Amino acid sequence: MSRTIGLALGFLGDRVLADPARWHPVAGFGQLAVAVERRWWAPSRGRGLVYAAGLVGSVTAAGVLLERGTRSRPVVHTLVTAAATWAVLGGASLDREARAVVALLETDRLPEARQRLTHLVGRDTGTLTVDEVARAVVESVAENTSDAVVAPLVLGAVAGVPGLLCYRAANTLDAMVGHRSQRYADFGWASARLDDLLNLPGSRLTALLAALLGPDTRGALTAWRRDASGHPSPNAGPVEASFAGALGLCLGGTNQYGAHTEHRPVMGSGLTPTTAEVAPALALARRVDLGAAAMAVLVSLRRAPNGR
């Protein structure tokens, strides 16, 4: 029961206490990863594999030690699980950043909205129109609902603290070195593939929950089946397509990433997002978060008799 209660407390903690601006453990891991990269980087898949395996493996091993060291002390194990869950989730921060961008758009502060949007997306934002900023926010809300909430809850329910920490380490490395740039094309390959693998169950659950809990279940399932495979990401595709269909929106289009231009196929068959469509997307994301938390609790309860 300590894992179940810890996951629930950690989820509630994330909703009440968004990520702090300073001294967050994930930021500390990111600083460590930067320091290691400076010494180890080379345009090599092999060195990138060692980099990802060393960092993710070390964090996962720490999670195993915490799990085993506290398993016989239920109260301590509950608190450790809650702290790890809070540290790896980012639902409240996602909501906060999306609302901040919308608030700037609603007060005609487009340049500031473009700058704030960089907290959510990796694409170039300097020339985006108001509607393009809104589309980017909706797409980020959809994708990060999976990355920042659902996927870690799934692994936490199945594997406890090691699963939580392993997921967040891999996801952080993917955000840092997994993108398609000249520097990271080879070095970041292993980090990107590991993140794809770990996100596979969470992204499908996110897409399913968005369809079941959204206003248009049939539209979500249709868009998922029809459009998801065209997305360059095997995990963002189902999530964004399901959100688009559920909300009656059209997502996708051309994005610029430095010197790389990416033409994504359209997902959904509804309206082009505007500022007004961000609030429904956030509302759907919150319902999906709650649904995922309930699923994680049920899964961990079913595993409890065979565990602690």
Q: What is the pLDDT along the chain (308 residues), one digit of tens a residue?
A: 899 999 999 999 999 886 776 778 888 999 999 999 999 999 999 999 999 999 999 999 999 999 999 988 999 999 999 999 999 999 999 999 999 999 999 999 999 999 999 999 988 889 999 999 999 999 999 999 999 999 999 999 999 999 999 999 999 999 999 877 788 999 999 999 999 999 999 999 999 999 999 999 999 999 999 999 989 889 999 999 999 999 999 999 888 777 777 788 899 998 899 999 999 999 999 999 999 999 999 999 887 655 44
pTM of the predicted protein model = 0.91
- Here the tokens at position 171 are 């996801």
DSSP track, 182-228 = TTTTTTTHHHHHHHHHHHHHHHHHHHHHHHHHSS-HHHHHHHHHHHG
- Helix, strand, or coil here: 271? strand
List of residues 6+ apart from 179 with CB closer than 8 A? 122, 188, 192, 257
